[in-house]
Amino acid sequence: MSMWPFNTVAKAYEALGDTNKALEYKKQAYGIYSDLFKEGHKDAKEIKSEIELLQPSFFVTTRSEQILSQVNCFGGNNIGGECRWFITTRGETNSELITIKQKIQKEVLNGIAQSLKKYGWSYVGWHGSDLGVKGYLEKSYLNKELGTLEKNENIEIAQMLCFEAMNLGIMKFEEKPYSIVQEFTRSNPELVKKIAIEHPEFFVDGSIIEACVKAMPDDPSCEAHLFKHVQYLGMNRDKKDAF
């Protein structure tokens, strides 16, 4: 398997202004190369330097990395200080999705990544607006940002893209704040199920899927649905070791 398609896709997302998604594809490329060959391979070294530009602390040795090095990654990939279970199923990326993404990338999707770190799922400011991730999902806000693209089906696509942006942000934390995606799941269970069918790659990592399942313990159909539609590396390992 070659890393070049991942790098090509990463560069395309960088051009769209989505550095978080570009970073994710670079991590996947690095995971493949360092797994198939060695970290010292020239292409692995090149992609490692590109990751460090986007997330300088990613390869810094930490206590969690030292612990991780002693743990079996259950068929996933050890990358930096993380054990990752990459999504292997993909939905269709069409021109409509790209158009909506371009429209909301700067103000909405990039905003979610910043808000995630500062405010988490929900934080109501003094003016009454929710400054957390939840606030970006409000239909009135998305309508305003979509402008001429405003219509119900586009709002739903925008919310799906918000879900992905949130998950990309979560995966940048050393200690992953899975409680945020769990709040999203409890608030929008049907949307999460639809994302699993149409864009399983928006879950970003197998640990996100498992967090969604844990958010809905009284709905066994949710677990069956997600594991049916979203495949990821190491998904048959013991789930109690997920996070």
Residue 79's beta-bridge partner residues? 82
pLDDT greater than 90 at residue 58? no
Identify the CA nearest to 131 among candidates 119, 114, 144: 119
Q: Are 87 and 210 in contact (CB under 8 A)?
A: no
Per the DSSP assignment, residues forming a β-bridge with 130 are 124
Give the tokens for residue 22.
């570009």
Span 28-37, pLDDT tens digits: 888 877 665 5
pTM over 0.85: yes
| Confidence class for position 169, pLDDT limits 50, 70, 90 | very high
Instruction: Name the helix (H) or strand (E) containing 78.
Output: strand 77-79
> CB-based contacts of 215: which residues, under 8 Å, 6+ apart?
181, 182, 183, 185, 186
111-120 pLDDT tens trace: 998 999 899 9
Q: What is the DSSP letter of 82?
A: E
Q: Which of 6-15, 40-49, 163-172 has the lowest mean pLDDT?
A: 40-49
From CA 110, how far away is CA 218, in angstroms rounded?
A: 33
pLDDT tens by residue, 173-212: 888 999 999 999 999 999 999 999 999 999 999 999 999 9
Treating both helix axes as pointing N-terminal to C-terminal, what angle do 139-146 and 95-104 enclose, rounded to 10 degrees? Answer: 100
Mind listing the pLDDT tens digit for each residue in 81-107? Answer: 788 899 999 999 899 999 999 999 999
What is the DSSP code (8-state) at residue 130? B
